[in-house]
Amino acid sequence: MIFTGKRYLNYASFIKQRFGQRVQKISLDIGFSCPNRDGSKGYGGCTYCNNNSFNPDYCGPEKSIQEQLQDGISFFSKKYKDQKYLAYFQAYTNTYSDLKNLKLLYEEALSVPNVIGLVIGTRPDCISEELIYYLAFLATKYYISLEFGVESTFNKTLLKVNRCHTFEDTMQAYEMCKYKGIDLGAHLIIGLPGESRQELLEHAKRISKLPIQTLKLHHLQIVKNSIMAVQFKRNPENFDLFTAEEYIDFISEFITYVRPDIVIERFISEAPLDLLIAPKWNGLKNFEIVAKIDKHLIEKDLWQGKNYKQNNDQML
């Protein structure tokens, strides 16, 4: 059992228990695309997506993986000299290539001193058994985490945002990956267009049935240079964006339905102000929102898993 001092399992406590020291992720951009961008499954990408909204400055595909990692290590080691690092393949779909090429990229990252593992962000429709067995082999020597962009557990929403895969694809991907020695993560966007509060809470129940160790959450943000930015400008009435207070209240209830052993890696994501169109939360930083969530959970006597029912198979 991880003792966190909080009312949920938080990522920092998980890392401390797992590695016994501070470990920092370093984001990488290897210049990959996605099957809903290049015509393999569709064009335009996900309607909400602009990868520049979360790529750090040191991260760019014009640099080699080693260069990106060395730049990241140089940046983070100024404050923490002796920490270790995880190479975070973050931008776009980082398994969307042939296995031979992926091996070269992953092994280049692992060759950098003090890099002790990989975190690979991808889509549930872009993996294969061959790749999974290779990652399982790496997991005998390194920490390997595979993070799927689930985004929504409702097919109607996945269709609306042009994901070009289904929730059934997601469930199949996790089934393929479980029991392989790989940590499995999920990413959800809270508040995509057309989802009711009841459906948003249903995400927690559905995601809890998946064999995941970690969960990333964040509220929907409308960012510049995305298809959704155009949709929002034309029809803002189709979007029900959270205020900060509404999100704090909602996410506090949401985690009560989340399986108690899932590590909550993130509650929110903060798009750069020069890209963010809406919602704007008066400059509140991530840590300030998390502090407010912590306080709200105490005030309302809520905690992760309070309303979780293991045998609840009823879905909308």
- CATH number of the 11-299 domain: 3.20.20
Domain extents in the chain: 11-299
Separation between Cα atoms, residue 76 and residue 81, nearest integer Å: 8
Which pLDDT score, from 0 to 100, does residue 315 have?
42
pLDDT tens per residue, range 161-204: 999 999 999 999 999 999 999 999 999 999 999 999 999 999 99
Q: Which amino acid, one-letter code, is at 69?
A: L
Query: Which residue in this structure is represented by tokens 């339905």?
Result: 257
Over pLDDT 90: what percentage of the chain? 81
Q: Is the pTM of this model over 0.85?
A: yes
Residue 170: count other Cβ atoms within 10 Å of its Cβ.
25
- Residue 314: the pLDDT is 45
Average pLDDT over residues 281-293: 92
Residue 295 confidence (pLDDT) above 70: yes
Q: Which tokens sit at 242? A: 């959270």
Question: In whole angstroms, what is the distance from residue 276 CA to residue 50 CA?
Answer: 10
Confidence bin at 55 (pLDDT 50/70/90) = low
Distance CA 271, CA 111 (A): 31
Is 313's pLDDT higher than 50?
no
Q: Using one digit for the tens of pLDDT, what is the confidence trace for 262-271?
A: 999 999 988 8
- pLDDT for 81 equals 82
Rounded average pLDDT over 50-77? 78
Question: What are the φ/ψ torsions at residue 186 (nearest 5 degrees)?
Answer: -135, 150
